[in-house]
């Protein structure tokens, strides 16, 4: 999708951080933007800023972990603009904690937003595009944590590895049908992710956290609008992977080298 102007983007998690950055980058390029967020007021306020700058923007309160709310978001977006060209499944949360201690309700929340948010988004928008014969593009937000894992953030990385795998398969399924798919894998970005528990449903109880380990990296992180500009370059180039932080290359290379070495070892009889 080379010419973005006057096209319609739907961005989830657009009330803050990277989602707001993607929405601002879309407006810079002359796109019309639907901003979805569980924090309806935050989405409204970013939408108002975009409208004041001359863009067309519309906010919709949406909990992406609920299929019916994402379906309603798709319906409202198509009704209002008559088309959607770009879907950014970006809403996400993070929770720290050791894997053997995290409870089913912790997994339910993290996977509910980070993975099911992507699944619900694609289930709501892709069939509409296919039915209408539209060309379109999906960007799913993972993280460098979709290629790297470590202690304390294991649950987060599990959700992001899944988003990488989902998007790799999605891109292959839809390539011949005029729909592109990219996975966004940012590193440290200056957002409110360290305060993600603000949106944890209260009926799930208190979150055991440990998330403070990400706060210093994020405070010095990239400006989210810069991440948004990388996203739009990836959309224009139909790139499967959108990386924004090349300084993670040695760590990711080290992981793949370990995998390749293990594959080599598999050539030797195990006796
Ligand atoms: N900040 C980083 O360093 C970083 C790095 C890699 C990936 N990411 C990913 O970027 C995405 C955006 O996070 P961010 O860093 O901008 O954090 P953020 O907290 O600033 O923004 C996340 C937004 O998602 C919204 N949200 C949370 N739960 C939701 C739900 N159930 N339904 C709809 N909206 C919901 C929040 O209200 C918030 O507006 C996430 O997927 C995150 O995992 C962030």
* Residue 215 belongs to domain spanning: 8-265
- Is the pLDDT reported for residue 205 higher than 90? no
CA angle, residues 74, 75, 81, in degrees to nearest 5: 85
- Kindly provide the residue ranges of all beta strands, DSSP E only, lying in the chain, ordered along the sequence: 8-12, 32-37, 57-61, 86-89, 136-141, 179-185, 241-243
Task: Decide if pLDDT at 129 tops 70.
Answer: yes
CA of 210 to the centre of ligand 1 (A): 17
Q: How many domains does the chain have?
A: 1
**Residue 270 belongs to some domain of the structure:** no
Q: How far is the CA of 193 from the centre of ligand 1 (A)?
A: 6
Distance CA 180, CA 232 (A): 13
Pairing of strands 57-61, 136-141: unpaired
Distance CA 143, CA 183 (A): 9
In a domain, 232, yes or no: yes
Give residue 73's pLDDT.
98
Does the residue 144 lie in any domain?
A: yes
- Is residue 156 annotated as part of the catalytic site, yes or no? yes
Contact 125, 36 (CB under 8 A): no
Q: Which atom of ligand 1 is nearest to the CA of 222?
A: 3
Residue range 130-186, pLDDT digits in tens: 999 999 999 999 999 999 999 999 999 999 999 999 999 999 999 999 999 999 999
Domain assignment of residue 271, yes or no: no
| 64 CA closest ligand 1 atom index | 32
Would residue 184 count as lying in a domain? yes
- CA 27 to CA 30: how far, in whole Å? 5
Judge contact between 234 and 242, C-beta under 8 A.
yes
Tell me, using a 6 A CB cutoff, whether residue 221 lines ligand 1.
yes
- CB burial of 107-140 (b: ≥16 within 10 Å; e: otherwise) equals eebbbbbbbbbbbbbbebbbebbeeeebebbbbb
Q: Is residue 194 part of a domain?
A: yes
Percent of the chain beyond pLDDT 90? 90
Going by CA atoms, what residue is nearest to atom 25 of ligand 1?
13
On whether the CB atoms of residues 36 and 117 are closer than 8 A, the answer is: no
Does 1 fall in a domain?
Answer: no
Per-residue pLDDT at 208 exceeds 70 = no
Ligand 1 pocket check for 185: Cβ under 6 Å:
no
Residue at 145 is within a domain: yes
Ligand 1 atom with the shortest distance to the CA of 66: 31
Residue 104, domain CATH:
3.40.50.720
Lowest mean pLDDT: which of 19-33, 100-114, 143-157, 197-211?
Answer: 197-211
pLDDT value of position 215: 76
Decide if 150 contacts 135 (C-beta within 8 A): no
* Pair 163, 140: CB distance under 8 Å: yes
Calculate the alpha carbon distances from 167 to 41, 44, 52, 156, 171 in Å: 30, 29, 34, 17, 6
């Amino acid at each position: 999708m080379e010419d973005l102007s006057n096209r319609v983007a739907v961005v989830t998690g657009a009330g803050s951080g990277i989602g707001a950055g993607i929405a601002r980058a879309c407006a810079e390029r002359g796109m019309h933007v639907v901003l979805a967020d569980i924090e309806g007021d935050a989405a409204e306020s970013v939408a108002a800023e975009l409208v004041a700058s001359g863009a067309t923007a519309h906010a919709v309160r949406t909990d992406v972990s609920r299929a019916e709310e994402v379906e309603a978001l798709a319906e409202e977006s198509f009704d209002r603009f008559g088309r959607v060209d770009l879907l950014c499944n970006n809403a996400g949360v993070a929770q720290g904690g050791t894997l053997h201690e995290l409870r089913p309700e912790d997994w339910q929340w993290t996977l509910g937003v980070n993975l099911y948010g992507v699944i619900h988004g694609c289930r709501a928008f892709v069939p509409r595009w296919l039915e209408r014969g539209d060309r379109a593009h999906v960007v799913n937000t993972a993280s460098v944590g979709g290629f790297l894992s470590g202690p304390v953030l294991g649950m987060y990385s599990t959700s992001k590895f899944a988003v990488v795998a989902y998007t790799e398969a999605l891109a292959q399924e839809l390539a011949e049908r005029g729909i592109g798919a990219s996975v966004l894998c940012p590193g440290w970005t200056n957002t409110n992710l360290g305060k993600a528990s603000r949106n944890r449903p209260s009926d799930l109880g208190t979150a055991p956290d440990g998330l403070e380990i990400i706060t210093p990296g994020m405070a010095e992180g990239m400006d989210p609008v810069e991440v948004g500009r990388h996203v739009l370059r990836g959309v224009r180039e139909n790139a499967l992977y959108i990386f924004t932080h090349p300084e993670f290359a040695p760590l990711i290379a080290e992981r793949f080298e370990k995998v390749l070495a293990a594959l080599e070892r598999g050539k030797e009889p195990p006796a």
